Structure 1
Amino acid sequence: MGGAGHCNGTVQIKHHGVWKDIAFGYYIFDPWTLKAADVICSRLDCGSAVNAESGLSGLYMDFIWAISPYCVLSTSTLMDCVRTNSFEKATMFLTCSDSVKLVHGSSLCSGRLEVWSNQPWCSVCEEDLDHNDAEVVCRELGCGAPSLLQGALYGEGEAPVWTSELQCEGNESAVLDCRRSSSAGKTCGSGKAAGLTCTDPGGVRLVGQLSHCAGALEIQYQGVWRLVGDQHKKWNLKYGALVCQYLDCGSAVSVTRREDSKYTLKWWVSFPCVKLTSGLWDCVGLDGSNYASSGVDVVCSGTNEHKLCLKLNSP
């Protein structure tokens, strides 16, 4: 509601016959993420989730519906995730892409390309997608520059083949702003549906040590670098392995909780989200950062220090 189209605006849900805004940031221990918001975009038959921000339900606190983002990621029935006891002021203003999405990828910035143009979602033939087209797709999805174009990388879909061919110049803000030529009757051979990987718009790094493969975990989100909090003691080797993989630093050797001398703003990461994706950026809590005194230290096998220790202790 209140957006430029049905793919952006304040999110409402009808429950017990009543339409109400949904609470944003109600579940502190499992924050809303772009990955969870993507489920709502899909329900609206829109593209991928691009951004979500907190809004206001009114001048005063009022009862609004709440939806558990953990539940949203683990079930296909959205209504099973509604809670009716939320007394909140913050609501969700969600922006989905209107005409493009990447499906079956490891993050919101990778997958098989599908487009919408006054018809059901359609696959795009690999031969019809060039670098300029990919630049526009990644930009519309709020991702970084394209890094890989490859057919069959994300499986073959059931979507029909798009009957147009993109002719983007590369500077358009959305796919449907590009010129298109008709290719009616075109079919894609097996394994020829276009797959695309864009770089994440954020970043991950380990700081405070001599090696870039060890140190305190920081994530860049919304253009801001902050330490990652571990108030609930959930970071372990499994999640640390994703950090090491992202940094091309081998496997995780240790993941430890670090106590700071004072509370500072830190990003939160949703672990139910991390379990379903290898992307860390789209699992950062959308309801902002929180104050915490605990952080996360990660050591990967790619560190020079660890390799030296292994050599010194070898027979």
Structure 2
Amino acid sequence: RLGCSNLMMGAQVRLVNGNGRCSGRVEIYHNSQWGTVCDDNWDMNDAKVVCKQLDCGSAVSSLGSAYFGQGSGQIWMDNIECSGSESTLRQCSHTTTHDCNHGEDAGVVCSGKEFTLFCSQVRLVNGNGRCSGRVEIYHNSQWGTVCDDNWDMNDAKVVCKQLDCGSAMSSPGSARFGQGTGQIWMDDIECSGSESTLRQCSHTTKHNCKHDEDAGVVCAQVRLVNGNGRCSGRVEIYHNSQWGTVCDDNWDMNDAKVVCKQLGCGSAMSSPGSVRFGQGTGQIWMDNIECSDSESTLRQCSHTTTHNCNHGEDAGVVCLSDFRLVQNGQNHK
């Protein structure tokens, strides 16, 4: 009975498409087939139970919107609400009926031994998703923060690279994402931007800081290329460690509004398609995007990852803040 119980506990949930067995899309084995979990109400308490069930250490992040790719087949669980004390996900409050699609598949990153490969003992907390927030370092079996003395964009670039989060957008200090607790592990960090991990950068482990000086990072998993500044251009998405484009099928102002919001570029001015900003290269990551304008990121919008497009259909965006800069420049000539 003990052997059977252990088998059931570890074998009826798995993490797929991550880096090793301790990160990925959450899948449940039921009725002789694997299916997914909807991200409605999905949070860190739910992730804690999955990591515990898989003997993968503590939960690092609870991801939604099919961060690890869309699954297939049945969606077995929805509206999961764990307290964090449960031993298995099935013990948590949940429904077996749902109103979800696989674009809402839930994911988890645990602090198991694969975690050091996935994000090398750094995380971003209290931001919008795993790619923005307060910088925290895992050391001596506990999470602590980083002081903002000398903190700049080169340091932020390394964090974004380390987390596979695209390019750095900003490097806020002064506890922009709230004050952390516990130890302050690093101070006076000076990265060149070429390092692979934050620990490789010049730094001190002694400090004269308080948590109101905790450093933060915002990474950009979407960018605008070949326009006039960072707020206009061809839309590019960072996925699977490479930048690719977005097809202009169904591309409209609601989609452009979400991009401008995500980049902190104000409201949308236009949503040009037909390669207005030149053809991109590599993969076309998203097609048939349909945003409602309420989403915070483009990945949260309804979309497909398969397409029938070529780079002559790459989508673009012009945000109002960039338009104002251009107009002001012209007025001063």
TM-score of the aligned structures, taking structure 1 as reference length: 0.54
Letter in 2 for 1:173: S
User: SS of the residue aligned with 1:191?
Assistant: helix
Greater RCO (CA < 8 Å, at least 6 residues apart)? 1
The Cα offsets for residues 34-92 of structure 1, whole Å up to 9 and x where unpaired, read as: xx899976774125869614578xxxxxx754456xx68xx888853654899x9xx98
Letter in 1 for 2:36: A
Q: Mark the CA change 1:85 to 1:148 in structure 2 (over 3 Å): closer, same or farther.
A: closer
Q: Mark the CA change 1:213 to 1:46 in structure 2 (over 3 Å): closer, same or farther.
A: closer
Aligned to 1:46: 60
Q: Mark the CA change 1:173 to 1:82 in structure 2 (over 3 Å): closer, same or farther.
A: farther
User: SS of the residue aligned with 1:112?
Assistant: strand
Aligned to 1:224: 244
Aligned to 2:223: 203
- Looking at structure 1, the residues matched to 147 and 222 of structure 2 have their Cα atoms a distance apart, in angstroms, of 29
The Cα offsets for residues 234-287 of structure 1, whole Å up to 9 and x where unpaired, read as: x665x54344456887634577999xxxxx995255758x6353x43x436686
Q: Mark the CA change 1:124 to 1:10 in structure 2 (over 3 Å): closer, same or farther.
A: same
Contact 2:145 2:215 in 1 (8 A): yes
Does residue 138 (structure 1) correspond to residue 155 (structure 2)? The answer is no
Aligned to 2:305: 288
Does residue 23 (structure 1) correspond to residue 20 (structure 2)? The answer is no
> Mind listing any 5+ residue stretches in structure 1 that lack a counterpart?
57-62, 259-263, 308-315
Does residue 192 (structure 1) correspond to residue 220 (structure 2)? The answer is no
The Cα offsets for residues 159-215 of structure 1, whole Å up to 9 and x where unpaired, read as: 3233355676754434466687543xx5633530111223x24434799xx9x9899
Does residue 127 (structure 1) correspond to residue 146 (structure 2)? The answer is no
Match of 2:178 among 145, 148, 156: 156
Letter in 2 for 1:275: S
Q: Mark the CA change 1:241 to 1:291 in structure 2 (over 3 Å): closer, same or farther.
A: same
- Looking at structure 1, the residues matched to 231 and 159 of structure 2 have their Cα atoms a distance apart, in angstroms, of 32
Aligned to 1:241: 257
> Mind listing any 5+ residue stretches in structure 2 that lack a counterpart?
1-13, 52-58, 84-91, 110-117, 275-283, 328-333
User: SS of the residue aligned with 2:213?
Assistant: coil
Q: Mark the CA change 1:64 to 1:159 in structure 2 (over 3 Å): closer, same or farther.
A: farther
CA-based RMSD of the aligned residues comes to 5.7
- Looking at structure 2, the residues matched to 205 and 124 of structure 1 have their Cα atoms a distance apart, in angstroms, of 32
